Structure formats: structure tokens, C-alpha cells
Chains A and B, each alone.
Chain A
Amino acid sequence: MAIKTNRIGLEVSPYRGSKTTLCAGCGHNAISERIVDAFFEMGVEPSHVIKLSGIGCSSKSPAYFLGGSHGFNAVHGRMPSVGTGAMLANQKLIAIGISGDGDTGAIGIGQFAHLMRRNLPIIYIIEDNGCYGLTKGQFSPTADVGSKLKNGVVNDLQPIDTCALAIELGATFVARSFSGDKKQLLALLKAALSHRGTVMLDVISPCVTFNDHEGSTKSYSYVKDHDDPLEEVSFVPYFEDIDVDYEPGSTQEVTMHDGSKLYLKKLEENYDATDKIGALRRLHETARRGEFATGLIYIEPDRDDFLTQLNVVDEPLATLPLERVRPPKAALDEIMESLR
């Protein structure tokens, strides 16, 4: 039997990474697997991908996927700035940043906020388990009110809803998913690869060691019981010739930057993922019920990304030849004359 290759002729192996060192059953491993699937199926050239992270269990995971890509494990909470710099240097790259709920919501909240504002082309994933795993289970800022630690301590501080924050601050693709929902997560990741701008994907990813017990609101069983999908997400990339049949009014169709199509089949009630205020209202409503709204929460496919706003040349700045980055002698002469 022939080994399966993708549309650029690569096998899956360059999309895989080294063996995970996270706990068996960690939600983060499932996310890494979906990333491998999405990048393989979308036929992304691994050498054009940069994977970045901050510090924490989540931030270890870029080592476990896309072994053929450059990786950068930055400092705690500061991955957004490193990613921003890298994309400024070479806008041909595809950036995927992996953060955690502490890395984003606590030490990194400032850089997170400003990344969202800039609409930099990057896929920013929060592997969200409501606790600090690598330092043994302290609460993180996404822990829900009333959620209990293993030692019985109950959180009574308001959680930060990273999705609501991202929408408020200007991210143009905001979604929430669950590490256990293979289908939804894969569709969202593939759609993310077709979006030009900031993708903020909060993935609830239970910590099997420190936050999977009775009383935790980020345990597998709690999340399964309180997952409230907004829609059924399916994605058809531009290079696949598939017609999707749907009943008029039942599905929202979104055309992505590269021509791919995202189909959001409505569940229960009318939800419009392009309505910013509606999206925020929905997040507040589900949170009040103690549930998680998952799926594509908000999308704005057409806003200019940061690099377009900066009006930089099409070629990577990093490799422009000297004659294009050093003005001629006449320029220096002119400056000198103006100073005499």
C-alpha cells in the first residue's frame, strides 16, 4: 500500500514532532495531534512555519508537532512580541503560537492584549486548563468562580474570558474548542490556516494531574457536560472541489481570505459569527449558565492585517539585498547638506 502523502507530496512524518513528555491523557497532546492533522491535510510547507511559545506545560508542546519547522520557546508570557517580530521580518511565514491560561491570562495579559489589537497574522492557541500544571496546580486566571483545587481551595476571583477579551480587543477570528472534540477542533484549525489576521483559539484542555477532579470546572467530565456548541463547523479548503448542500437559512457560509469556505450549521437558535456584539452577548450568557460556548465565536475575514497596515514590501524584510536597504550616497549627502 502506498504511503499517504498530502497535496504538496509530503508524508505525515515532517508534521510530527518529538515524543511528548507531558502526562498521559493531557489534553495538550490531543491538540498537538490535531495540529499535525490540520497542517498535513492543508498541505502547509513545514519549513515555512514558525512555532512559538511562552513558558508552561502548554509551551512545551511545540516540540511535539511539526519537527521540520523552526521553533522558539520564548520567555513566560512574552511569546506575542517574539511572534510579532518574526512576522515583521518575514511575512511569508506561517506563525503558530502556543500559550497557556497562565502564560496568557496572567504574566502575558499585556502582550496578549496588544497582539489582539494589531491583528498580526498568527494562530494563537491557548491550551486552557485553568491551572498552572508545571508548578503543580495553582489556580490560573481562567479558573471559574467556585472551581475547586485538589487540596480543596476554592477560587473566588472572576475568571478572564480570553475569547471575550480577544473579540473586544480586535482579534478577527475567535474560537473556543475542547481538546476532546476532534472534529470541531480540526475544522477550526484548518479554517485558521486560511485566515489572514489574528486567530485566537481557546482550547479547553483538561489537566489530568492537577485539575481533573470532582469540583473542577475544567475537568473532562465537567467540560463534556457543559459544552454548548454554537454551530456545527465544517471547512472546505479552496483546493478541494466539494459542493456542500445545505438547507437555506440553516447554515452560515463564510468565505476565507484564501477562498476556502467555512460552513457553520446553526444549532438551536440563530447565531451570527460576524456579529461582534451578539458574540459577546452569547459568551456572557453561556458563562452565566456555567457552560462553554464552543465553535467559531467571531470572525471578521476582511480586515487588513498588521503587515498590510504597515505597508511593507511583499518580499521578506529579512532577506532584502543590501542595495534595497542602504540608501545611496546621494541620500547621505542630502542629509548632510540639510545639517550645515
Chain B
Amino acid sequence: MSSTDLAVQEQQGPARARHVANDFSIQVATVNGSGSQTANLVLLRSILLMGVPVSGKNMFPSNIAGLPTWYTIRASKRGYNARKKEVDFLVAMNHETAKEDVLTLEPGAAVVYDEPLKLNALRNDLVFYPVPFDKLVAPVCPDAKLRRLVRNMIYDGVLAKLLGIDLALMQQALARQLGRKAKAVTLNAAALKAGWDYAEAKLPKQDPFSLEPMNETAGKILIEGNAAAAIGCMMAGVTVVAWYPITPSSSLCESLISYMKKYRIDKETGKATFAIVQAEDEIAALGMVIGASWAGARSMTATAGPGISLMSEFTGLAYYAEVPAVIFDVQRVGPSTGLPTRTAQGDLLKAAFLSHGDTKHIMIIPSSVEECYTMAQEAFDLAEQFQTPVFVMMDLDLGMNNWMSDGFTYPDKPINRGKLLTSETLKKIGEWGRYKDVDGDGIPYRTIPGDGMPASFTRGSGHNAKGQYSERPDDYVNNMDRLARKFETARKFVPKPEVENVAGAKVGFIGYGSSHWAITESRDQLREETDFKTSYFRLRAYPLTEALATFIDAHDRLYVIEQNRDAQLLQLMKLDLTPERVKKLRSILHYNGLPMDARSITDDLLAQEGYEVARKTTRIVEAGSSGMTGGE
């Protein structure tokens, strides 16, 4: 195929703006296990180095090699981090999904594809750039075994030329990505150059998308939420970690292991100031955390929904026996096989009341990688302050995707270890009882083995204020009421919501977690496209606080935005709110496994508000089939 019959479609060209700078999304469709992640991260980092706000999301299968994977990079001059519903620039490397990937594009999108696929025959309203990857990779990579990996770097070179990324800058990003592996850098740099040269010689620019240098990323970092949380745990002084591998939480503990090995080895002795154990299952993981916390360590585990289910019994014990525990729940779609690698916010209700008997738990809910870092630290303080399990409710989108962020700030406070009994306190309070409410806040004083303070016997439900075994009805009731009082105290200490009241707005959004970014963008869309004003309440913790009622009272209709089917936060809110307030609540729900996007919220809101919404063609990927059937 010659370069002249490539991109130019004879029919009416796409009805798109002539020039779209720094505001589009690139989707790279590959097969998992093909080593495309390096190429994608190099592309991501190159855009960051240009000063253009950027984020990257990986939609991957529960598989090691051979199934389709889509990596989406979004450049956004306004700093939008959420998934963009439309793909503007497709890199079609996966033969199996290429046809579908092309058919679902919006008119005017551009496609770089593997030449033998002949995708240009499929549509006439797109811009096509065929690239003979195999022909280009052979000369730059003599070792045939490595070609499969190196050929991905060619699309980076092509994109650099087509989108206007400086080649030297991309090579800088490559060197950064590969670190000290000099041979790999040389090999991949040659592939980059080959792609660039090919595009320069053969692919005249036909699409409107381009990248132009900005100055919006100075000092910014690119990080996944799981790694951010791991850094937070390390700074919180975690000493005992027990975990069981489960997607999407594994990388939290794995990042933690690598950071701890680097920064928490005692210089003099070469010994570790921590213990990290891969447990036999999630039950044992939480058991170890409870044992460690009971003996005075700062201890945590990380898991996902199925692990949370297994931790149910131990969570109840920790609640009743009043033992701290920090549990990261990196939420994902439901049980067993299918969509464990897709994102969701589906564990909220379960975590709030996990276990048997009357239990309720503190949850803290980060929205950003920065909050993953700060809230990890807060979680340890809250768990020790309240002597109870604390859940940090993350999700796959936040935990495993690449987010741009300001650098993290070094903690300026000492850690809060809560009410550990000291001899001074003992002198002051006279007689110590493990479950005695000395201060009226529901929080007792605790002692830990080996601290020289009085010992006690820790049990589940049957104990009196002194910590002695008791099955007396009044002892049980008194204890349960004190636990409820403790939960009330927690309302004042959990992270406060972030509230933005907009003058004249009758409608308020209530959202949490990773939905935040789509909500923010949707509010801009509503204001700019429809002149529709919204206020916003971003929940950051459970138990709920007075501020929620105040926010509801200030608006006519409230839309609770969640990534689950059953409106789980809304259900939780119903327990605390008066019927008048509940009546004002509505739901916007998104639960197809993909990260939430702004357009879905905007369309849903407007439809519920009675506007006519021109529903755009739903991408096949959105419908959830996406060619991901079979092949297990």
C-alpha cells in the first residue's frame, strides 16, 4: 500500500474541529502479555514532560497473556483525570479486536493500525494511518525473539510524529522508564526512531489532534493509588503487614514491600523494622493483623471484595474486642472469575456492617492518589484512636491506574497511638478496667503485652467493663451502648467532607472515591453546555456527619453518584437521614466495570431532570462485551 491511499477518504470528511490541541484520548488496543505497558508508560510520561496534564487507564483481562487489553491515555489541558468516554485516537495492535475497536469509534477519530489488518476498508469517516510494524521492527531488532516486545515502541514513534511530541523528549521518557537497562534503552530508542521516520516519510498528518507544550505539570508525579497508599503506610510507621494476593490490591502490598526494603532497614544492624507476611488466606491475613495490633504493632492488610467476605468473622471479633486493624479494600467487580480486573464501588454496604451481631465500622474513602497517601496515615491513627477496624475504601481505577498528582507532603504530625495506659494515667484514674469508659467518649484505655501495665483477657462478646468474663444482660447492654457511643465520637474525627455550595444551584451532587473526577468534569459540562448549576458534596468517610444533612437541606434534589447497582451509599444514608431528606435523594449509577466518565453522569442527570438528551451510540466496549468472551 502506498502512502497516498492511506488516510485520505474520498467521502465527506469528519465534522470535527480543524485543530484539537491537548484535549483528546488515545487508546492502545493490544494483547496482554505483549509488553505494551512500557510503550504506554513512555507515551504517558512524554506527555507529562511536555507540561500537558495526562492520565492513563488500563483495561485489562484476568489473564497473563493472549487476551485483549486497552490502555487509554488522556491528555487534558484542563486537567481532567477521568476516563473520557470517546476514543479520539486509536492504536489498533490487536488483530482480534481491531474491527470492533474501529467500528465503535466516533466519526472523525484517527486510527494507527497494523497494515495487514486493512482496517481502512471498514469506514470512511475516520482518519487511517497504516503502519507495517513487522517490516519496521526487523531491521532495528535483529533478535527475532525480542521483536514482539520492541514493535510496540514503534507506535510511540509514530504517535510522537503525528501528535507533535519531540523525539528527544520521548527518548528521555524512555530512558527514565527503563532505568539502567542500557541495552534495552538502545534497542527501544531505535524502534522509536524507526516509527518516527516512517511517519515522517509516509504518513502526512490528516487528523486534528495535537499536543502542544504547556506549563501545567511542573513538580507533578505520576503514580498509582496502590503505590501512593503504600507510601502512606510506610510513613505511618506500619510495622506488621499480612496479606494474601488478590487483584486489584496485590500491588499495594508489593509496592510496600519494595519501599520498606529500601527505606526501613535498620542501618546499623541490617535488620528490618517491619515484618511482612504473605498469609495462607485473607482470614489468616486479618488474624495476623489483629494479633499484631493487639500486641501493640501498627498493622494492616490489603484485599478486595472476596477477601473482605472472608474477613467478616475476624472483623466482628476486632470490633467487639476493640482491637485496631487497618484494612485496605481495593474494590473490584464481584466474585470469582469474570470481571475481577474491572473497577467498582460495590463493597460499601458490606464493609460498613461487616460481620455478625451489631457491628458498624469506620470507612475512609480517598478520591485521589494524594488522599490514598494521606488517608493511609489517617487510617492508622483512627484505628488506634478508636481501637477498631478501619476500612480504606479504594477501587481498581484509583488503585491500579496512573494518576497525575502534586508531590506528596511529608507528614508534619507525630502518629496518634490512642489511649495506651501509662502509669501516670493509671495513677490518675485509679482503677483500670479494659472496657471502662473513663472519659465519656466511649473509648477505653488499653494495655499491650509486655508493657508492664495490668494484663487482661481479650474475648468476643462477653465481658464487663473490667474485662472479666460475663454473660450478664446488663454487662452486654452497657458494653454495646458504649460501643455505639464510641462510634458517635468517631463522627467528629473522621475525615470531613469536601463541600462546594454554588449560589443558585437547586441540584447537588453527592459522590465519593474515584467518581470524583468524572463528577468534577460533568459539573463543568453541565454549566458550560446547558447552563445547569450544581453544588457538590464529596463524602470522605463513614460514619456520616451533620454536614450531609445541611447540604441536603440547601438543595431541592440530590443525586448520589455511585459505581454500583444498588445505590449502596444512598442506602447507608437512609439509615441516618429523616424521611423528608431521604425523599430528595436520587441516584446516578454506573456499574459496567469501566471507570466512570463525565458524559455518562451529564446525560443521566439531564435525563432525570427532564432534558432531552441525544444519546450517542454506545460503544461496544461500554456494553461490556468488548470481545472479551471466551478464551479463558
Confirm or deny: B223 has a beta carbon within 8 angstroms of a beta carbon on chain A: yes
User: Which of B286, B289, B450 interacts with A90 by CB under 8 Å?
Assistant: B450
Cβ of B302 to closest chain A Cβ, rounded Å:
15
Q: A317-B239, A322-B237 are in contact. Are A70 and B287 (CB under 8 A)?
A: no
B408 touches A332 (CB 8 A): yes
Q: Which A residue's beta carbon lies closest to that of B217?
A: A340
Q: Which A residue's beta carbon lies closest to that of B402?
A: A339
Q: A327-B263, A335-B231, A339-B223 are in contact. Are A89 and B240 (CB under 8 A)?
A: yes
Residues of chain A within 8 A (CB-CB) of B317 are 74-75
- Chain A 48-75 per-residue mask, 1 if CB under 8 angstroms from chain B, else 0: 1110100000000011000111111111
- Chain A 70-83 per-residue mask, 1 if CB under 8 angstroms from chain B, else 0: 11111100101111
The CA of A114 and the CA of B277, in the complex, are separated in Å by: 12
Residues of chain B within 8 A (CB-CB) of A225 are none
Residues of chain A within 8 A (CB-CB) of B450 are 47-48, 90, 92-93, 316, 318
A75 touches B239 (CB 8 A): no
Query: Can you list 20 A-B pairs with a CB-CB distance of less than 8 A?
Result: A46-B455, A47-B449, A62-B457, A81-B287, A82-B291, A88-B275, A88-B291, A89-B239, A89-B293, A110-B284, A114-B284, A310-B277, A313-B269, A313-B272, A317-B273, A317-B275, A318-B450, A325-B239, A325-B274, A325-B298
Q: A311-B272, A326-B237 are in contact. Are A317 and B458 (CB under 8 A)?
A: no
Confirm or deny: A86 has a beta carbon within 8 angstroms of a beta carbon on chain B: yes
Cβ of A63 to closest chain B Cβ, rounded Å:
6
Residues of chain B within 8 A (CB-CB) of A307 are 275
B269 touches A322 (CB 8 A): no
Q: Which A residue's beta carbon lies closest to that of B265?
A: A311
Residues of chain B within 8 A (CB-CB) of A1 are none
User: Which of A52, A81, A320, A325 interacts with B283 by CB under 8 Å?
Assistant: A81
B237 touches A82 (CB 8 A): no
The CA of A86 and the CA of B219, in the complex, are separated in Å by: 42
Cβ of B432 to closest chain A Cβ, rounded Å:
14
The CA of A80 and the CA of B284, in the complex, are separated in Å by: 8
Q: Which B residue's beta carbon lies closest to that of A73?
A: B459
The CA of A72 and the CA of B446, in the complex, are separated in Å by: 14
B280 touches A110 (CB 8 A): yes
Residues of chain B within 8 A (CB-CB) of A311 are 270-272
- Chain A 301-340 per-residue mask, 1 if CB under 8 angstroms from chain B, else 0: 0000001001111101111101011110101110110011
A313 touches B291 (CB 8 A): no
Q: Which B residue's beta carbon lies closest to that of A91?
A: B275
Most buried by B among A70, A75, A322: A70
Interface of A is mostly: helix
A93 touches B407 (CB 8 A): no
B259 touches A85 (CB 8 A): no
Q: Which A residue's beta carbon lies closest to that of B297?
A: A89
The CA of A207 and the CA of B237, in the complex, are separated in Å by: 47
- With A111-B284, A317-B297 known, 9 other A-B pairs at CB within 8 A are A47-B452, A70-B458, A72-B291, A75-B460, A84-B291, A86-B294, A110-B284, A311-B270, A312-B274
Residues of chain A within 8 A (CB-CB) of B237 are 320, 322, 325-326
Q: A47-B455, A324-B273, A339-B223 are in contact. Are A85 and B314 (CB under 8 A)?
A: no
B219 touches A69 (CB 8 A): no
A90 touches B271 (CB 8 A): no
The CA of A113 and the CA of B292, in the complex, are separated in Å by: 20
Residues of chain B within 8 A (CB-CB) of A86 are 291-292, 294-295, 449
B275 touches A324 (CB 8 A): no
Residues of chain B within 8 A (CB-CB) of A52 are 291
User: Which of B222, B281, B448 interacts with A339 by CB under 8 Å?
Assistant: B222
Confirm or deny: B290 has a beta carbon within 8 angstroms of a beta carbon on chain A: yes
- Chain A 275-297 per-residue mask, 1 if CB under 8 angstroms from chain B, else 0: 00000000000000000000000
A339 touches B284 (CB 8 A): no
A332 touches B240 (CB 8 A): no
User: Which of B271, B296, B411 interacts with A319 by CB under 8 Å?
Assistant: B296
User: Which of B231, B242, B313 interacts with A75 by CB under 8 Å?
Assistant: B313
Residues of chain A within 8 A (CB-CB) of B408 are 332, 336
Residues of chain A within 8 A (CB-CB) of B299 are 85, 89
A90 touches B280 (CB 8 A): no
B460 touches A70 (CB 8 A): no
B280 touches A114 (CB 8 A): yes
Residues of chain B within 8 A (CB-CB) of A310 are 272, 275, 277
Cβ of B436 to closest chain A Cβ, rounded Å:
17
Q: A78-B283, A90-B296, A312-B272 are in contact. Are A70 and B449 (CB under 8 A)?
A: yes
A340 touches B234 (CB 8 A): no
Residues of chain B within 8 A (CB-CB) of A92 are 450
Cβ of B403 to closest chain A Cβ, rounded Å:
11
Q: A78-B284, A324-B273, A339-B221 are in contact. Are A72 and B411 (CB under 8 A)?
A: no
Residues of chain A within 8 A (CB-CB) of B295 are 50, 85-87, 89-90, 93, 318
Q: Which A residue's beta carbon lies closest to that of B459?
A: A73
Residues of chain B within 8 A (CB-CB) of A78 are 283-284, 287, 313-314
Confirm or deny: B415 has a beta carbon within 8 angstroms of a beta carbon on chain A: yes
- Chain B 247-288 per-residue mask, 1 if CB under 8 angstroms from chain A, else 0: 000000000000100011010011111110101110111111
B457 touches A71 (CB 8 A): yes
B297 touches A326 (CB 8 A): no
Cβ of B161 to closest chain A Cβ, rounded Å:
25
Q: Closest 9 interchain pairs by CB?
A: A85-B291, A81-B287, A318-B296, A325-B237, A89-B297, A85-B292, A85-B288, A89-B295, A82-B291
Cβ of B580 to closest chain A Cβ, rounded Å:
42
A325 touches B264 (CB 8 A): yes
B410 touches A329 (CB 8 A): yes
B449 touches A332 (CB 8 A): no
In the complex, chain A residues 95-140 whose Cβ is within 8 Å of any chain B Cβ: 110-111, 113-114
Confirm or deny: B456 has a beta carbon within 8 angstroms of a beta carbon on chain A: yes
User: Which of B234, B288, B313, B321 interacts with A327 by CB under 8 Å?
Assistant: B234
Residues of chain A within 8 A (CB-CB) of B407 are 336, 339-340
Q: A68-B455, A70-B456, A110-B281 are in contact. Are A50 and B293 (CB under 8 A)?
A: no
B449 touches A325 (CB 8 A): no
Q: Which A residue's beta carbon lies closest to that of B231?
A: A335
In the complex, chain B residues 392-440 whose Cβ is within 8 Å of any chain A Cβ: 407-408, 410-411, 414-415
The CA of A324 and the CA of B234, in the complex, are separated in Å by: 11
Confirm or deny: B591 has a beta carbon within 8 angstroms of a beta carbon on chain A: no
Q: A47-B455, A322-B415 are in contact. Are A336 and B274 (CB under 8 A)?
A: no
Q: A48-B449, A78-B283, A327-B264 are in contact. Are A88 and B457 (CB under 8 A)?
A: no
Most buried by B among A48, A71, A317, A320: A317
B291 touches A89 (CB 8 A): yes
Cβ of B288 to closest chain A Cβ, rounded Å:
4
The CA of A318 and the CA of B283, in the complex, are separated in Å by: 22
The CA of A46 and the CA of B450, in the complex, are separated in Å by: 9
A82 touches B273 (CB 8 A): no
Cβ of A35 to closest chain B Cβ, rounded Å:
15
Residues of chain A within 8 A (CB-CB) of B223 are 339
The CA of A69 and the CA of B407, in the complex, are separated in Å by: 47
Q: A72-B458, A311-B272, A327-B234 are in contact. Are A81 and B296 (CB under 8 A)?
A: no
A318 touches B448 (CB 8 A): yes
Q: Which B residue's beta carbon lies closest to that of A117?
A: B280
The CA of A179 and the CA of B264, in the complex, are separated in Å by: 46
Confirm or deny: B235 has a beta carbon within 8 angstroms of a beta carbon on chain A: yes
Cβ of A44 to closest chain B Cβ, rounded Å:
13
